[in-house]
Structures are given as C-alpha cells and as structure tokens.
Structure 1
Amino acid sequence: MSDTMRIFDRNLLRLRRDHAADGIGRVAPILDAAAELLLDRLDDTSRRFEHALDLGGRGAVAPALRARGMAHVTSMDLSARMARSAGGMAVAADEEWLPFAPGSFDLVVANLSLHWVNDLPGALLQIRQAMAPDGLFLASLPILGTLQPLRAALAEAEASLRGGLSPRVSPFPELRDGAALLQRAGFAMPVADRDRLDLRFRSAMALIADLRAAGERNAVRARDFRIPPRALFPLAFSTLPQEDGSIAMPLEMVMLTGWAPAAGQPQPARRGSAQARLADALGTTEQKAGESTRH
C-alpha cells in the first residue's frame, strides 16, 4: 500500500489499544450496547453458526456470542492484550492482513473496529475469503456525524488560535458507502442501515477519558506533532453545547450485513422481469419521466 493510502498509524493504534486494555471496563456499557444492536440481527435468521470470529470487539462481542450458545469463538485484535480481554481463544493480528485460511468461519462480527483500517475494501475482501460459503458477516462502523460537535469545536478553536487546522478527530465513512463496499468485496445480499446510540457526558473531560479508555485517541498520520496551544482545549470545550448540565455526543453507526456467496442463495430478480406495475399496487397513475402530473 502506498503512503498516500495510509491514513492511520496502525502501530500507534496498537500501542494505544495495549495501553487501554486494562481500563476497557470503563466503556464496557457503550461497547456492549453497540454489540447488542449489531447482534440483534442474528435473530433475523434461522441459520445456526459453529465457528465465529470476533474482530476487535474489545470484550463485548465474544462473551455475547458464547451466551448465544456458540462454543467456538475466536477473538482477534491488533493488540494482544486487548484480544485476551475477551476470554477464550485469542489471536493478535492486523485486520489488514488476516492470518486465517479460506472457509475458517461461518460468522464474522466486527463491532466498532474497522474504522481504523487504511484499506477497508481490501480488509472486507480478506474477511469474505476467510468465511465459509453461506457465512454471515456483521459489522458496525461509526459514520459521519459521530463526534461532530467535538470536531467542530476543536476546529473553530484552533483556527482562532493558530489560523489553521490539523486533524484531531478521526475521519469516518458515510452511510451511503456501506452496501457498495460489501458488494465490491463480493458479499451476497449486502445491506447497510443506520443505527444510533444517544450518549451524554457530564463534561468534555469525561468524553475524552472515555475515548482514551476505548483506545480511540487520534491515530491519523497527518496529525500535528507540535504541542497544542495551552488554550486550545479549554477554548474548544467551553463552546461545546450543553443541555441539563451534560454534553450530547451521539454515536452514529452504519450496520453492515452480508453473506459469503453460496449455491442456492436467493438472488435479486433480473431487471425488467416484474409481472406487475408499482403504480397498480399503489393505486396511482403511472407517469413517464419528465411528464407533468397536473391536468
């Protein structure tokens, strides 16, 4: 991968995950809530899974899968210490270079972890190749809108103090990218939908402490290495909107669902093969493109 494609410093991310492993319990309620929203999608299928891979779940996903009766759950994380926090089988490896043989898992779950990957299409392709035919892939990723009040406050404060900006909050993908990424990686029946956790923090410092506890500190390679102005964070934090003495900081997520291709899976109907008109079903009059509906 060329340097121009490397947005994140993966080594720095690993070190920060190592450092956060002992205190991950601080943010367990948030990780657990996000995992529950994601794993609820397992209730929509009658398929039973035998071998699951938890990618970067930070102790929230693997126990939940075992509680659902899955005996063979492997937890993988960039940080060995974080991988061990989930209990059971643990593997320290990079999501950009998966070490698993083709067909190793019939379920792969990535809860709030893939947003730090430099080559997300490539990582999704490797995940699909590690899955058995008709295996299920579930993922949640923070999307544009997450941490937006913090991003805006830091940008405004830095612009006023230095006359310029530096990336201090990780970039996030957009909702519309989700299904296309799955399709590009070869997943069948790709679905991307939006979900949200409405989080509130008693102070800006409580928010920052939770981000650090989760290993979610800035790991953008283009970050400013200079010591920030002393007034930067107090100024930014003073402008964060508060209501009832707390700061709203919703976690906006895209939930991805895709299946490893297999013979006999349902296929989308061929374009133009419909036997009934939508206008008839809706009880309306069909109009041609550009045709006025006024009479």
Structure 2
Amino acid sequence: MTAPIVFDHDLIVRHLQRRQPGAEDFVTSLALYDLQDRLLAVTRRFEQALIMGPDATVLPERGETHDGVTSFERAGTALAAPGQLLLDPEDLALPRSDYDLIVSIFDLQIVNDVPGFLARLRRHLRPDGLLLAAAIGGNTLTELRQAFLTADVSHSGGAYARVAPFIEIKDAGALLQRAGFALPVADVENHVVRYAHPLSLMQELKRLGASNPLADRPERMATASLLAGAAEAYKDLAGDPDGRVRATLEIIWMSGWAPHESQQKPLAPGSAKVSMTRILGDKAGS
C-alpha cells in the first residue's frame, strides 16, 4: 500500500537552499545537545555509526558515549555537502547494512512513509544495533496552528493546512514496534520559546527553511491581511503581559534496538513462578 504524499520534498529542498547564511538553527542545536547527553549514558563503543537529517551540513562528525568517541558518517535526506551522503528518504539505500548506531535528527518531519522509513533503518542495523531518532512532537506550534485557523475562518470562511503534522508521543513507541524494533522507548523534551511578535516567529521559520512543506497547501500566498489576522489571534491565544508571545516546541526521542537473542524478552503469559494470590493475599480478588 503506497503511503499518501504529505510533504513536497522538492519544496523542502528549495526552502533549505534559501536559508540565510549563518542563520542559527536553534531547534537542531537543542536536539544535538540532547543527543550528546543520551549518548553519554550508553555503555558501548560504536564502530560503524551514521547520523542523518534533512541537512547533513549541520550535523556533527563525532559523538561521545560512556565508553569512548564515535565517528559519524553524515547523510542528508534533503541537502548534503561534497563527501556526505545524499539519500532519498522514501527509498533510503544506505551504503552499509551493519551499522551498530544510526541517529536520525528530524528526518521524520519530511518522510511520507514513517513506518517504512523506520523499518528500512532497522534493516541497515546489525543485530543489537541502536536507533536514536528525534522528531518534532504533536504539540509543537499549536498556537500558530490555532491562530491561522482563526484567521482563515474569519477571512475566507474555511480552514487550510498551513502547519505540518507532527508525531504524537502516544504513537511513537507503536511506530517503533511496527517497524520491528525491540525494547522501544519514547520520551519527550518540552520547550517554550518566546518572541517579540508572532511575525518574528513566522520570519524565523522562513529563515530556517521551515515554511509550509505540505504537498496539499493553499495555492495562493498568504495575504498581508491574513497574516495580520493570524498575528492578532496569536496574541490573544499566547500573549504574555510584557507583550511577548509564547511558542511551544516539543522534541520526541525514540530509541529501539535491532532484535538480538541476547536481549531481554517479556515472559510468556502463564509462565510466572509465583501466583499473585501469594503476594497480595485477599486483595488479589478484590
């Protein structure tokens, strides 16, 4: 079954290519900071490691685990510099099938077939290899989404998709299981970012190449009156007493292991050695 086309990949590439030189991508910086903390907790040395994201040029060359420094191959699913891999995120033909670590930073924001993408990553891991994936969570930019909904209804009587859909934390673990990963774990990092004005947020999204990437997007450009209406609605929704506005950022971290016989497995139903009645007494039947 073919996955529906949600994202316009060519448009995403053009957005990234138009980014202002030197523009700080603080969202990726936050994710890479979180990544370093997570790697330091891993008591293993990785020999074959890959880190990938829409733009490979912003990814690090090395990471440090508890047991030593790991060198990364770097790959981009939209942009890459000479010497870096440039991948089709819907096909994902990686050069190796024996990585012991794959890190994905926000690739899930531009992939139409998320379960297929994760399954292909698993097939490129050796048994007991680790996947770490960062994704933008479902509550991200909820204020902007609501503000545009209000403005669209007011200006045209209808609603349009202007903010990309994001993964919900409740679905993240199930996606890993569906892709065949063992010991799946998902957790979330929440951040609140404040801006002087809603238009400052919109301008930053444009600078970062994160403008509307949807294939089914409005054909007409947003008018000045629509943007003004969205800004006013945004102030009503998320304005602070000092005049600044809040924006929600949610980063979901997903981790899973390629299956291996050495890994812990849940007990089969009915295989417990001690009955609950012995432990709980009369409470077991209450």
TM-score interval for Structure 1 and Structure 2 normalised by the shorter chain: 0.7 to 0.9
Aligned CA RMSD, in angstroms, stands at: 2.6
Q: State the alpha-carbon separation in 2 of the partners of residues 26 and 250 from structure 1.
A: 18
Q: Cα distance 1:281–1:238, how it changes in 2: closer, same or farther (>3 A)?
A: farther
Deviations 1:130-160 (A, max 9, x none): 1122111011111221100000000100111
Q: State the alpha-carbon separation in 2 of the partners of residues 279 and 111 from structure 1.
A: 47
1:57–1:75 contact (8 Å) kept in structure 2: no
2:40–2:64 contact (8 Å) kept in structure 1: no
Q: Cα distance 1:201–1:230, how it changes in 2: closer, same or farther (>3 A)?
A: closer
Q: State the alpha-carbon separation in 2 of the partners of residues 238 and 224 from structure 1.
A: 21
The share of aligned pairs that are identical, in percent, is 32
Q: Cα distance 1:287–1:200, how it changes in 2: closer, same or farther (>3 A)?
A: farther
1:194–1:254 contact (8 Å) kept in structure 2: yes
Residue number in structure 2 paired with 1:269? 267
The count of corresponding residues between Structure 1 and Structure 2 is 279
Selected match of 1:115 from 89, 92, 109: 109
Deviation of 1:64 (Å): 5.5
Counterpart residue type for residue 102 of structure 2: V
Deviations 1:226-260 (A, max 9, x none): 13333101111122222133221121122101011
Q: Cα distance 1:137–1:283, how it changes in 2: closer, same or farther (>3 A)?
A: farther
Counterpart residue type for residue 140 of structure 2: T
Larger strand proportion of the pair: 2
Residue number in structure 2 paired with 1:286? 284
Residue number in structure 1 paired with 2:229? 235
Q: Cα distance 1:44–1:162, how it changes in 2: closer, same or farther (>3 A)?
A: same
Q: State the alpha-carbon separation in 1 of the partners of residues 277 and 163 from structure 2.
A: 47
Selected match of 1:169 from 141, 163, 171: 163
Q: State the alpha-carbon separation in 2 of the partners of residues 53 and 179 from structure 1.
A: 22
- Determine helix, strand or coil for the equivalent of 1:127: helix
Deviation of 1:267 (Å): 1.6
Residue number in structure 2 paired with 1:51? 48
| Larger mean Cα displacement after TM superposition, 172-181 or 102-111 | 102-111
Q: Cα distance 1:227–1:284, how it changes in 2: closer, same or farther (>3 A)?
A: farther
Q: State the alpha-carbon separation in 1 of the partners of residues 124 and 83 from structure 2.
A: 17
> Which stretches in structure 2 are left out of the alignment for 5+ residues?
none
Length-normalised TM-score, structure 2:
0.87
1:113–1:141 contact (8 Å) kept in structure 2: yes
2:172–2:254 contact (8 Å) kept in structure 1: yes
Q: State the alpha-carbon separation in 2 of the partners of residues 89 and 204 from structure 1.
A: 39
Residue number in structure 2 paired with 1:255? 253
Residue number in structure 2 paired with 1:70? 70
Alignment of 1:106-145 (within 5 A): 106-145=100-139
Length-normalised TM-score, structure 1:
0.85
Q: Cα distance 1:160–1:279, how it changes in 2: closer, same or farther (>3 A)?
A: farther
Residue number in structure 2 paired with 1:18? 17
Q: State the alpha-carbon separation in 2 of the partners of residues 284 and 215 from structure 1.
A: 62
1:139–1:255 contact (8 Å) kept in structure 2: yes
Q: State the alpha-carbon separation in 2 of the partners of residues 253 and 9 from structure 1.
A: 22
